[in-house]
Amino acid sequence: MSLERDVRIRVHALLEAGKTPTEISRQLGISRPIVCKVKATGIERKVGSGAK
């Protein structure tokens, strides 16, 4: 399991626990826009959606 996937899983778990994106970003040490993006896109990334 990649670190990125692990972070996505943790974000979703915290969202389901009722945490806000701001609380999650502070707890995990990631930016709030990343939390919002994970919330919108889900745990799994589409093939070819990574940086080149």
pLDDT in tens, 21-37: 999 999 999 999 999 99
Whether 11 is covered by a domain: the verdict is yes
pTM: 0.77
pLDDT greater than 90 at residue 9: yes
* Residue 52 counted as domain residue: no
In a domain, 8, yes or no: yes
For residue 43, pLDDT beyond 60: yes
- What's the confidence (pLDDT) of residue 44? 76
In order of 4, 17, 49, 51, the CA distances from 13 in angstroms are 14, 6, 23, 25
Residue 51 domain-assigned (yes or no): no
Helix axes 32-41 and 21-28, enclosed angle (nearest 10): 110
Domain interval for residue 10: 3-41
Instruction: Give the confidence band of 11 by pLDDT, cuts at 50, 70, 90.
Output: very high
Number of domains in the chain: 1
* Mean pLDDT of the region 2-17: 91
